[in-house]
Amino acid sequence: MNCISWNCRGLGNALQVQELSDVVKAKGPNLIFLLETKKKSAYLEKVRCRLKFDNLFVVPRRHLSGGHALLWKNELDLHIRTFSSHHIDAVVNPRIDDAWQFTGFCGAQETVNLEDSWSVLRYLSTQTDLPWVCIGDFNEITRLEEKLGGAIRPKKQMQEFRDYLEFCGFKDLGFTGLPLTWSNRRYEGPLVWVCLGRAVASADWLIKFPSVRLHHLTGFSSDHKPIWLCSNDVHSRFYSP
């Protein structure tokens, strides 16, 4: 297992594309989930070629916002099942007993719409009994320690998020690295840091991939940090201090 997920908040300048290329070169993923690309398919196809990936699936942007992309190499037998403005859902190894489910997820940015995006996960959980992993930007936290600065998150809001994760049978994979993945980058006014990127998985997926861990990476061209989901053997091969 070797996957990069990054909310790039617009993949429209050379610095961002170069940073993505550097991360891919350093970590060697065979699966990439990009959120909020804000770019058309033709542009993302050029990015795919630059990264030397074999396959690309794009959820189109709406006007000048949104848009997600999933890239994968041929070594993965991956088939897209469903998609929306909040997710891309796929099955890996669908024709054999070794099949498992991958979902790249993007929670709604507006608090009032969060429940609608989480209901996507609730629906997906009723459609499969495969081992399941979900990675991306959930735009919510499960506890107060996952936020530094700014207004205190309402307890009810965090509890609702935890309830949805529990309904789906998800366990949080935890992480290594700096604890918070998003910053408002304020030079004036209160600085806010939040852990918005995460990976969660079902119990049977964790049994299937017992050594997989989530790593928070450094990043500079987006207010979100890339996150890296990989097994211990992959991490040992590609880790650089």
Hunting for tokens 């079902």 — which residue is that? 202
**pLDDT given for residue 239 in this prediction:** 58
CB 32 within 8 A of CB 19: no
Report which secondary-structure segment, H or E, holds 101.
strand 100-106
**pLDDT given for residue 93 in this prediction:** 95
Bin 32: left if φ > 0, else alpha if -120 < ψ < 50, else beta: beta
* Pairing mode, strands 227-230 and 78-84: unpaired
The pLDDT averaged over each successive group of 10 residues in the chain (241 residues) is 93 90 96 95 96 97 84 97 96 92 94 89 93 96 95 93 96 94 85 96 96 94 94 68 43
Strand 193-194: give its sheet, edge to edge: 147-148, 193-194, 182-183
When divided into structural domains, the chain yields a total of 1
Q: Which amino acid is at 47?
A: V
Beta-carbon count within 10 A of 45 CB: 14
**pLDDT given for residue 241 in this prediction:** 43
Cα–Cα distance, 138 to 173 (Å, whole number): 14
Three-state secondary-structure class, residue 56: strand
Classify burial at 202, counting beta carbons within 10 Å of its beta carbon; exposed 0-12, middle 13-18, buried 19 or more: buried
Cα–Cα distance, 107 to 120 (Å, whole number): 10
- Structural domain containing residue 32: 2-238
**Which CATH number goes with the domain that contains 149?**
3.60.10.10
Cα–Cα distance, 231 to 62 (Å, whole number): 35
